[in-house]
Amino acid sequence: MATSLRRYFYECDLYGRLYLEGVKRKNIATCLKDDKFINFFYKQLKPTSFLRTHPKWANLTTDFVTVELEEQYPYVSICGKELNFLKPEDVPIVYTKLLPTTATTTSTKENNSQKPLFQLSYGASLKVPFDPSALHLCTKKGYLYHPVPSVKQCGTLGLISSPLVLSEFQQSLSFEESGVFFHFEANHYQVKQV
């Protein structure tokens, strides 16, 4: 089985852009742009350790998927007989847009008022509901994170890209003695530290 498989290697930068490994200049012109492929890639993303534990893939030789490869490329996207390994600069999921949805939710039963819901976008057009109470801040790196759609898929937190933080979140963050707070839709949420 290992001989019929093909391996490809990708990198993901802090802006959520996907590149074939070996691209010398990483920028908007050299990143992958096929939306269908990018969305499929992220929908199939799993930890590389999945290959060692899943019955279908566990018989791969140690020469084909080594411990070193697993450490260097901690995620894999499986497409038929292709194993697409991913090395993220930080984490594999990078949110690039905050979008309003057309759905609304009732905020209280008493006044039946509606407030819009928001989604974070990653990949080409994949979305996850935005939960302002679930933000995390890594003070060491200065990065803001939000939970990912599936913990089994690729970790627990996705990075909110710097351009998104600057355009949508910066004005709503306050750094106080008691912690960091995010002010959103007339509510105040304490940002968790990681």
Q: Cα 104 to chain center, whole Å?
A: 25
Report the C-alpha gap between 192 and 12 in whole angstroms: 25
Predicted confidence pLDDT, tens digits, the chain (194 residues) = 556 789 999 999 999 999 999 898 998 899 999 999 999 999 999 999 888 887 777 776 566 778 889 999 999 999 988 999 999 999 999 999 999 987 655 454 444 544 558 999 999 999 999 999 999 999 999 999 999 987 566 778 999 999 999 999 999 999 999 999 999 989 999 999 99
Spatial distance between the Cα atoms of 126 and 94, rounded to a whole number of angstroms: 11
Domain ranges of the chain: 2-88, 94-193
Give the per-residue pLDDT at 58. Answer: 73
Q: How far apart are CA 27 and CA 25, in angstroms?
A: 6
Q: How does 64-100 read in b/e, with b if 16+ C-beta sit within 10 Å?
A: bbeeebbeebbbbbbeeeebbbbbbebbbbbbbbbee
Phi first, then psi: what are they for 86, rounded to 5°? -125, 130
User: What pTM was estimated for this model as a whole?
Assistant: 0.87
pLDDT of residue 106: 46
From residue 183, alpha-carbon distances to 14, 135, 168 in Å are 24, 11, 11
Distance CA 31, CA 60 (A): 30
What's residue 108's pLDDT? 46
